[in-house]
């Protein structure tokens, strides 16, 4: 007898029964916080590394943790995506030792680091392009959403391609 579970982990992605992705986001936040604490001496406020080297460490070690599977879990509620965005803001603030009243938008602009929603949209677009040219016809059929009946207003993964970024 297989016991009933509300969540399952498959290929590193935690899925819950309703595909809300809240558990996945929480687990990734815990994992990111642990990795950031271990790396704080390298990318923290008092580190002597250059800002470019700190950004490289962030992009190579921390960012892949939350970008893995983003084309799937990116359709979660905005409040869940904001959890990852807040983490990224804290890391960037720590990297440049920014004053606490410095705006996050300014940090992202000056460091040329895209927002979490932009990264998710770009990954979804790249995924769509890979599916368009795929040799497997069933993979290409994943793009055909014309006859899809929608009862709920929840975001689906194919909606990420149409996001308007502000």
Residue with tokens 């297989």: 2
Read off the pLDDT of each residue in 6-24 and give the average, rounded to a whole number: 88
Is residue 157 assigned to a domain? yes
Read off the pLDDT of each residue in 2-20 and give the average, rounded to a whole number: 87
User: What is the extent of the structural domain holding 45?
Assistant: 7-162
Total number of domains constituting the chain: 1
- Contact (CB, 8 A) for 12 and 31: no
Supply the pLDDT for residue 39.
96
Q: How far is CA 163 from CA 61, 109, 126, 129, in A?
A: 27, 20, 14, 16
Supply the pLDDT for residue 18.
82
137 against 113, higher pLDDT = 113
CA distance 65 to 28: 7
Is residue 2 assigned to a domain? no
Supply the pLDDT for residue 143.
72
Cα-to-chain-centroid distance, residue 162: 17
- The pLDDT tens digits of the residues spanning 57-112 come to 999 999 999 999 998 888 888 999 999 999 999 999 999 999 989 999 999 999 99
Is residue 1 assigned to a domain? no
Look at residues 72, 65, 81, 88 and name the one whose alpha carbon lies nearest to residue 22. Answer: 81
Residue with tokens 């409040």: 79
Supply the pLDDT for residue 162.
67
Above pLDDT 70, what percent of the chain? Answer: 87
Read off the pLDDT of each residue in 152-160 and give the average, rounded to a whole number: 67
Asked if the model's pLDDT at residue 164 lies above 70, the reply is: no
Is residue 73 assigned to a domain? yes
- The pLDDT tens digits of the residues spanning 18-60 come to 888 899 999 999 999 999 999 999 999 999 999 999 999 999 9
- The pLDDT tens digits of the residues spanning 135-145 come to 888 877 777 76
Supply the pLDDT for residue 72.
85
Is residue 116 assigned to a domain? yes
CA distance 130 to 4: 35
Is residue 126 assigned to a domain? yes
Supply the pLDDT for residue 151.
64
Is residue 66 assigned to a domain? yes
């Amino acid at each position: 007898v297989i016991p009933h579970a509300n969540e399952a982990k498959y290929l590193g992605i935690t899925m819950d029964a309703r595909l809300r992705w809240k558990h996945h986001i929480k687990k990734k936040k815990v994992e990111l916080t642990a990795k950031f604490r271990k790396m704080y001496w390298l990318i923290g406020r008092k580190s002597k590394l250059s800002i470019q080297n700190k950004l490289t460490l962030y992009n190579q070690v921390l960012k892949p943790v939350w970008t893995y599977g983003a084309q799937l879990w990116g359709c979660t509620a905005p409040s869940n995506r904001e959890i990852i965005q807040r983490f990224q803001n804290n890391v960037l603030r720590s990297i440049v030792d920014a004053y606490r009243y410095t705006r996050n938008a300014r940090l992202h602009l000056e460091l040329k680091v895209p927002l979490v929603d932009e990264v998710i949209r770009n990954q979804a677009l790249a995924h769509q392009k890979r599916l368009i040219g795929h040799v497997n016809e069933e993979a290409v059929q994943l793009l055909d959403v014309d006859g899809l009946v929608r009862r709920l207003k929840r975001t689906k993964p194919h909606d990420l391609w149409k996001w308007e970024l502000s």
